[in-house]
Structure 1
Amino acid sequence: MLVPEGQYMNRLFPNLMVQDMEQTLTFYQNLGFSVLSKMPEESPVWALVELDGIKIMFQSKPSLTAEFPQLADQQSGGALTLWINTPNVKKYFERASIQCKLLKPLGVTDYNGATEFVLRDPDGFILHFSDLEM
């Protein structure tokens, strides 16, 4: 058993490999995220951002591949989407539509009736905002 009986895991913070930390932080700050921490403070190689309880870590490619050499041949962006649940999807869309090129505009899905929109960040990560409760 991965987690001992009676204990549980309660958080998942993705640590995303990025090419340009300053560009990434500016992008996420423009979406409304706050920078909670960055190391070192000047010319950071790692940062933690947060928006309404959603936390994402970013690490520069040189720093991350020094820690995990297996990632040296990997491209930023990954084969994944970051699905973000929020009852305020329209509020985030208004801000994002000014700042970003959208992959999918705000709309209601045929398959589950959720209001959603999708964008791509500077490193190719796909952020999928949805009001669908899971």
Structure 2
Amino acid sequence: MKSVSPNIFVTDINRTIEFYKKLGFSLTTTVPEEGETIFAMMTCGSVVFMFQTFRSLGDELPTVLRQDGGSLLQYIQTNEIRKFYDQIKDKVKVIKGLEKTFYGATEFSIEDNNDYLLTFTEDEK
């Protein structure tokens, strides 16, 4: 295995693209290239997220719930976590502020515009 890139199903893909741009992600691919977007790939450093509309699923993959949010938490390692937190804390819904965990990492958690949780972490020296 080489990598994992979650494909996150969303209701409003354009709103999702704008949200993730606030976090520093860049839009790298859309399908289709013109017209109504049903799929987008976004990257930030070596982190890759794919977003796809529920509507584009049709009847495929019936086990995918057709609702935003879920029991999946994206755990994202980053650098300069305190600087990043200060840059975005007033632009997003912070669920858990900066804290040092019992296992030594510094973390914070936010909720994206689709009710998915993102936890950012850094092993500060």
Bigger strand fraction: 2
1:57 to partner: Cα distance: 0.2
Alignment of 1:104-115 (within 5 A): 104-109=96-101, 111-115=102-106
**Distance between the aligned counterparts of 1:23 and 1:69, measured in 2?**
25
> Higher Cα Rg: structure 1 or 2?
1
Which of the numbers 24, 38, 62 marks the counterpart of 1:69? 62
Which residue in 2 is equivalent to 1:121? 112
Paired residues of 2:79 and 2:122 also in contact (CA < 8 A)? yes
Alignment of 1:1-134 (within 5 A): 9-41=1-33, 42-71=35-64, 73-109=65-101, 111-132=102-123
Q: Which runs of 5 or more residues in structure 1 are unaligned? A: 1-8
Structure 1 runs, 4 residues or longer, greater than 3 Å off: none
**2:113 partner amino acid:** P
Name the CA shift for 1:65/1:120 in 2 (closer, same or farther; >3 Å). Answer: farther
Bigger helix fraction: 1
Identity level (%): 34
Q: Which runs of 5 or more residues in structure 2 are unaligned? A: none
